[in-house]
Amino acid sequence: MASSRPCPLCDTCVVSRTWIVIPLFNEAPVIGSVIKDLLPEFPHIVCVDDGSTDTSAQAARSAGAVVVQHPVNLGQGAALQTGFEYVLQDPEMSCVVTFDADGQHRVSDAAAMVARIRGGEADVVLGSRFLDSRTRLGPVKRLVLRTAAVQSRWSTGMPLTDAHNGLRAFNGHVVSNIHLTQNRMAHASELVQILAALKPRWTEHPVEIIYTEYSKSKGQSLLNSVNILADLLFR
């Protein structure tokens, strides 16, 4: 992997800070606006460009994020692990948030999740689109996600309502103990298994997933449903 610039550690940095980790693959039309929305609340952002064939890396860098690049596409799990390894180099890192690149997450939800960790309520806060009614889901997507949550509960004992939500917040100690080996969609189930073994203090937080015209045009909702089903059936 190659970094676009070194980690911005210096004497003027705050004592503790939150890093946003964004897996990035061919999201050039939207990644700049995603980063610009995040920066006022979260000035420390690393995008892991997972072998994009468009100008995603340049757009993310121009918007103000650190960019780490995979020379080839390895998968979202691999991108997250690279991001975790990058932010662990920062001795002042106190919290890490995983955030999607396609504009489906709300910055306000991420900020509220981090506040719960900083307030000492939990070590891990996992986003759930089923704890309130803001997220609009089709019947197939809802069924798949509910099934995934039940399967996760059976296999790990963690009573999650939304096992495949990409908006998550962890304290630094938890991040240092996450070692993902599943590069692609199965990483979501692997992450829950890791958390079940670590037994941190965890909670879920209501979040809204915004299925935009952009994400719908890419077929993202249907594709994710297919990937989740494949994970459940074949892993």
Residue whose token pair is 């992997």? 1
Cα–Cα distance, 73 to 55 (Å, whole number) = 14
- Can you tell me the distance from the alpha carbon of 46 to that of 22, in angstroms, rounded to the nearest whole number? 6
pLDDT at position 151: 72
pTM recorded for the entire structure: 0.84
Position 189 scores a pLDDT of 87
Q: What's residue 156's pLDDT?
A: 77
Q: Please give the pLDDT value at position 149.
A: 65
From residue 224, give the alpha-carbon distance in Å to each of 13, 91, 188.
38, 35, 12
User: Which of 5, 154, 169, 191 shows the shortest CA–CA distance to 86?
Assistant: 5
β 66-70/2-3 pair status: antiparallel
Nearest to 212 by CA among 201, 221, 199, 224: 221
Give the Cα separation of 87 and 3 in Å (integer): 12
Q: H-helix or E-strand containing 110?
A: helix 107-118
Tokens read off for 62: 């121009």
Q: Mapped to the 3 state alphabet, what secondary structure does 119-157 carry?
A: CCCCCEEEEECCCCCCCCCCHHHHHHHHHHHHHHHHHHC
Q: What is d(CA 205, CA 195) in angstroms, rounded to the nearest whole number?
A: 16
- In this structure, are residues 168 and 127 in contact, taking their beta carbons and an 8 Å threshold? yes
Q: What pLDDT shows up at residue 136? A: 77
pLDDT, position 86: 98
pLDDT, position 9: 37
Closest to 228 in 3D by CA, of 175, 152, 159, 170: 152
- Rounded Cα distance between 94 and 81, Å, is 17
pLDDT in tens, the chain (235 residues): 444 433 433 333 334 799 999 999 999 999 999 999 999 999 999 999 999 999 999 999 999 999 999 999 999 999 999 999 999 999 999 999 999 999 999 999 999 999 999 999 999 999 999 998 887 776 777 677 667 666 777 777 899 999 889 999 999 999 999 999 988 778 888 999 999 999 999 999 999 999 877 866 665 554 454 454 455 444 4
pLDDT value, residue 22: 98
